[in-house]
Structure 1
Amino acid sequence: MKNKLSDLNNHLFEQLERLNDNELSGEQLAAEIERAKAMSGIATQIVNGTKVVVDAMKLVHRGDAPSVINKLLGEGLS
């Protein structure tokens, strides 16, 4: 899979456009709302996962990664 965050952004804007369709009503609108909720949940997970990666990259860049890893694993704690 070769998706990027820009693809996610495009999908979310496409979903927004579908929700803004004045011709949708009843079951069609309800289905789009459910679809939007599902997309929002998945998008949140993708963004949160990306934030973890960026935060880890910052730690590595600053040279703090080993001490943070040790704390997470419980090593070096008194």
Structure 2
Amino acid sequence: MKNRLIDLNNHLFSQLERLSEENLTTEQMVTEVKRTDAIVAVSEQLIRNSDLSLKAATLVANHGDRFRPMLPTIFRPPETLESKAITDGGDR
């Protein structure tokens, strides 16, 4: 599995296909259900994290750089040369 949301989507559909197999024994079905529960729990956290990143990006897009210093580094969009020159006083 890669680290993109489309990969998560593909992984979830693969698990759904495993759950849909008609020839699973009861023991295999129990194992797949447990695996599904774990996958769903991790997936929900990944989706929440992606949603938070999107909200941070939207905040900066809608209100400019004035909120950038308040965002954790992981959510800060990269600085452009133009915005760096403005904040540094244009010395570079």
- Short-chain TM bin: 0.7 to 0.9
Distance 1:30 1:2 in 2: 27
* Residue number in structure 1 paired with 2:30: 30
- What secondary structure sits across from 1:63 in the alignment? helix
Distance 2:36 2:2 in 1: 22
Q: Which has the higher contact order (CA 8 A, sep 6+)?
A: 1
Q: Give runs of aligned pairs for residues 9-24 of structure 1, distance below 5 A.
A: 9-24=9-24
Identical positions, percent = 39
Distance 2:60 2:17 in 1: 40
RMSD over aligned CA atoms reads 2.1
TM-score normalised by L of structure 2:
0.68
1:40-61 per-residue CA deviation (whole Å, 9 max, x = no partner) reads 0000000000000000000000
1:24-78 per-residue CA deviation (whole Å, 9 max, x = no partner) reads 1211000000000000000000000000000000000011662xx4xxxxxxxxx
Establish whether residue 61 from structure 1 lines up as the match of residue 61 from structure 2.
yes
TM-score normalised by L of structure 1:
0.79
Deviation at 1:3, TM superposition (A): 1.2
Unaligned runs of 5+ in 1: 70-78
Unaligned runs of 5+ in 2: 71-92
- What secondary structure sits across from 2:45 in the alignment? helix
Distance 1:23 1:2 in 2: 29
* Residue number in structure 2 paired with 1:72: none
Report how many aligned residue pairs link the two structures: 69
- State the 4+ residue runs in structure 1 displaced beyond 4 angstroms: none
Deviation at 1:2, TM superposition (A): 4.8
